[in-house]
Amino acid sequence: MNTNPRPTPGQLQADHLQNLHRQLVAEIEVLHEKEAHLKDYEARLRSFADQHPAASRTPFQGVPVAASTAELAAAWEKFHRSQALLEAERRAFNDERLLLRVEAAALKNRTAAITRREVWIDVCEKEIAAIASTTVAAAPTAPPRRSFTSVPFAAMKQIFSRAG
C-alpha cells in the first residue's frame, strides 16, 4: 500500500489558492500599518502648521511686486545679466576642468614613461656590470710598461744576448 497518496489537481489548486490568500492578508495588514503611520504623520504635520503659521505661508507671499513696468524691465534685465554671467562662469569652469583632466593624463603618461626609462636604465646597468665582471676576470694581466729610459737598455740587452 502507498502511504503517500498523490494529491489531486484540485487539492493542489486549493493549496495554491490558500497560499495566495495568506499572502494577500499579510500584504493588506502591511498596507493598513502604513496607512496608520501616514495618518499619524499627517496629524503631526497639521499640528506643526497650526503652531507655526509661517510654515504654512506660500513662498514669495511677502515679496513686493514692482510698481511700474520700467522697474520690472530693469529687474528682468538684471536677471538676464546675472544669468549670462553665471553661464560664462560655468563654461570657464568646465574648460578649466577639461584642461585639468588633460594635464592629469599627460602627467600620468610622463610618470609611466619615466618609470619605463628607470627600469631600462637598471637593466642596462646590470648588463654593463655583468660584462665588466666577466672581462675583468677573463682579461690577462698585461706586463708592466717599460719606462722611456729603460727601453734603450732593453734593446742593448737583446743585441748582446744574440751576439753572445
Query: 164 in a domain, yes or no?
Result: no
pTM of the entire structure? 0.36
Quote the domain boundaries for residue 119. Answer: 83-138
Query: 60 in a domain, yes or no?
Result: no
pLDDT band at 21 (very low <50, low <70, confident <90, very high): very high
Judged against a pLDDT cut of 80, whether residue 4 lies above it is answered with no
Residue matched to cell numbers 496629524 = 43
Sequence-distant (≥ 6) Cβ neighbours of residue 154 within 8 angstroms: 146
- In the Cβ-directed half-sphere of 161, how many Cα atoms lie within 13 Å? 6
Judged against a pLDDT cut of 90, whether residue 66 lies above it is answered with no
**Span 104-117, average pLDDT:** 96
Sequence-distant (≥ 6) Cβ neighbours of residue 140 within 8 angstroms: none
| Statement to judge: residues 47 and 89 lie in one domain | no
pLDDT band at 82 (very low <50, low <70, confident <90, very high): very high
Query: 102 in a domain, yes or no?
Result: yes
Domain count, the chain: 2
Judged against a pLDDT cut of 80, whether residue 38 lies above it is answered with yes
Judged against a pLDDT cut of 90, whether residue 22 lies above it is answered with yes
Per-residue confidence (pLDDT) for residue 136, from 0 to 100? 62
Sequence-distant (≥ 6) Cβ neighbours of residue 49 within 8 angstroms: 55, 56
Query: 152 in a domain, yes or no?
Result: no
| Statement to judge: residues 87 and 134 lie in one domain | yes
Query: 64 in a domain, yes or no?
Result: no
Query: 39 in a domain, yes or no?
Result: yes
Query: 115 in a domain, yes or no?
Result: yes
d(CA 80, CA 150): 102
Query: 92 in a domain, yes or no?
Result: yes
Quickly count: other Cβ atoms within 10 Å of residue 153's Cβ: 9
**DSSP assignment of 109-146, as one string?**
HHHHHHHHHHHHHHHHHHHHHHHHHHHHHHSPPPPPPP
